Structure 1
């Protein structure tokens, strides 16, 4: 057990040289309006503060305090043990408007969807608190255009948050993650979203990572494209969880709400995403990406479709987009749903896939490191 001395240093640290102690002590940076008002190094943008943090090769925590304001930028967290602390989600907002169609240059492999993310986290032990992260691409204006219109963007995915491949043990607390299609891309290790708001419409929480969302609001947003009653207009989650991974996207004690204009019965809880992947014998939908998603003790409003789940197309081995993946063949489950949209029509979902939150939390918290 560590023994702490005044100032927060451990007994072991106190026995080190002054230089070694300084290398272990937490450090703070300031961003925005608070520049020049304290002793902390100060930066005019979140990106510049993160670049400075990345040059620090010590193992200490770096806290970046972001003053209230609007930051129009596209920051990336690449250093582990970093905290981003805003002045409250309603007051500190990071915004950018990239869209998949033109965002390929932002991604290492030229993939537009992750390249579009406003905030990218590609490190371990990262905490984000009191911030809004928003993708401001005008999805509705594009959705309003008719198919075939030369002005219409064909790939309108526009992520707010990318949890990239090196991310793990990421905590987002009291945040707002705002977008439309593909708002949150879980493409790394474990992340927890707590006491927050996530908004979007098409597959707006998706990926192969492990994401625990608890005590949060999941707000479905409207679309501008024509909608026929009884059809699926939007989809909350699209997991592509590998079979080797027990957990994918888990919602716990959260509220599934809607903004004005989202019809009754128009939104699916999830659909199974089998991403097109390159194999030795061709490019086709990954058969091992058998998505796992669970809703535990969640409130559901009337916008949730009576069937709750739906299918998703994939790329067949001959290159055509014909394979249909069914929720019945995935790892989808819900326990103790309540609210006017909770009653589900039986579509033959398999039994015995229920999971308990204690097991989920144990798996998510293993090896977690705290900044406190």
Structure 2
């Protein structure tokens, strides 16, 4: 029996099944249908499945741009760092039709269906961000066109769960823009705005790792929410660790900034006034790369066409019980009122969803 299949059977036992519903592998495996690509395995999932359709991703770099638009798809990696879902599209690069991908289209993995989960694998956008800083390869769109998303949780997603998953990118690594999601014991690597969006995402015991940007005084921003005003929770980090590449200087990374994305309205296109970002750090450890000021402003286009700044005080950006050399006390780093701390318990953040 092949050593790889022995490992697969062990994983199946661990996850409570005698076998997976599909296996992605270079060569056929016994006891479950085997597919040469992840896209083909996703195609085999029921269109309206009511129970988990489990796909084993064997070791390898699977270079595919993936869309999950069926419910209850569960991806399980054979090896956390060896089972890699990767693509390399940036926002400014052109799609097959000649138009740019844009931030909303460039992700390596896009989820548009409920009850998705991923465990024990890596999701990566392998775009050469640092190389592009030195020699841009395309016309910029938005700030620079170098936004390169690894995972996007898009409209239609809800109750997405991630455990022991590594997310690798630089600018805009993880785009949690819709629905509820839970990230446990994950690692997210990036530099500029690398965890962002308007969804309700809870991160527990995750490592938020800042990557070095050569020649940049402001090395990056961690959490960048555009939460709708009526939504009580946005990006919530509980007992996480904020770490850095060794080359990143002290005080050069912001906890984040609130984002007011441009949207089209009957009277024009301008920054969405309903985007009142919410991000909270609860009992997180922070290395010295975190700026003592905490949060930065972020520019947006106002209704009258002026370019204005959205201040951190005009959004919902807080922390509680921070520790480590980056945990400073300053007037610009607002503490979560003590009476509100209990509101950030998991069952309240996730609005009664109990992940299995």
SS at match of 2:133: helix
Query: Does the 8 Å CA contact 2:39/2:64 hold for their aligned counterparts?
Result: yes
1:288 aligns with 2:274: yes
Of residues 10, 21, 45 in structure 2, which corresponds to 1:28? 21
- Deviations along 1:29-73, one digit per CA (max 9) or x if unpaired, are 11114x4321211100111101121x4444232100111111111
Q: How does 1:104-119 map to 2 (within 5 A)?
A: 112-119=102-109
Q: Which residue of 2 aligns with 1:140?
A: 130
Q: Which runs of 5+ in 1 are unaligned?
A: 1-24
1:330 aligns with 2:321: no
Q: Provide the alpha-carbon RMSD of the alignment.
A: 2.4
Query: Which has more radius of gyration?
Result: 1
Report the alpha carbon displacement of residue 349 of structure 1 after superposing the two structures with TM. Answer: 4.0
Distance 2:298 2:317 in 1: 14
Report the alpha carbon displacement of residue 336 of structure 1 after superposing the two structures with TM. Answer: 0.3
1:77 aligns with 2:63: no
Distance 1:47 1:292 in 2: 34
Query: Does the 8 Å CA contact 2:181/2:200 hold for their aligned counterparts?
Result: yes
Distance 2:302 2:344 in 1: 38
Q: How does 1:128-167 map to 2 (within 5 A)?
A: 128-145=118-135, 153=140, 154-167=144-157
Report the alpha carbon displacement of residue 366 of structure 1 after superposing the two structures with TM. Answer: 2.2
1:42 aligns with 2:34: yes
- Deviations along 1:191-230, one digit per CA (max 9) or x if unpaired, are 1111010010000000100111110100000112x234xx
SS at match of 2:350: helix
Q: Which residue of 2 aligns with 1:315?
A: 301
SS at match of 1:141: helix
1:273 aligns with 2:239: no
Query: Does the 8 Å CA contact 2:107/2:149 hold for their aligned counterparts?
Result: yes
- Deviations along 1:97-132, one digit per CA (max 9) or x if unpaired, are 0000125569xx976112111111111111100111
Q: Which residue of 2 aligns with 1:233?
A: 219
- Deviations along 1:228-251, one digit per CA (max 9) or x if unpaired, are 4xxx33100110000110000000
1:341 aligns with 2:326: yes
Query: Does the 8 Å CA contact 1:201/1:222 hold for their aligned counterparts?
Result: yes
Query: Does the 8 Å CA contact 1:217/1:254 hold for their aligned counterparts?
Result: yes
Q: Which residue of 1 aligns with 2:237?
A: 251
Query: Does the 8 Å CA contact 2:202/2:349 hold for their aligned counterparts?
Result: no
Greater alpha carbon shift after TM alignment, 349-358 vs 192-201? 349-358
Q: Which residue of 1 aligns with 2:211?
A: 221
Of residues 82, 86, 100 in structure 2, which corresponds to 1:91? 82
Aligned length: 335
Report the alpha carbon displacement of residue 333 of structure 1 after superposing the two structures with TM. Answer: 0.6
Report the alpha carbon displacement of residue 281 of structure 1 after superposing the two structures with TM. Answer: 1.7
Q: Which residue of 2 aligns with 1:168?
A: 158
- Deviations along 1:300-339, one digit per CA (max 9) or x if unpaired, are 000000101110000122334x211100111011000000
Report the alpha carbon displacement of residue 280 of structure 1 after superposing the two structures with TM. Answer: 1.9
- Deviations along 1:166-194, one digit per CA (max 9) or x if unpaired, are 11100010000000000001111001111
Distance 1:329 1:234 in 2: 21
Distance 1:164 1:85 in 2: 21
SS at match of 2:92: helix
Distance 2:32 2:137 in 1: 50
SS at match of 2:31: coil
Q: Which residue of 1 aligns with 2:168?
A: 178
TM-score of the superposed pair, with normalisation by structure 1: 0.84
Query: Does the 8 Å CA contact 1:201/1:220 hold for their aligned counterparts?
Result: yes
- Deviations along 1:248-281, one digit per CA (max 9) or x if unpaired, are 0000100000012111100000101011111222
Q: Which residue of 2 aligns with 1:366?
A: 352
Q: Which runs of 5+ in 2 are unaligned?
A: 1-17
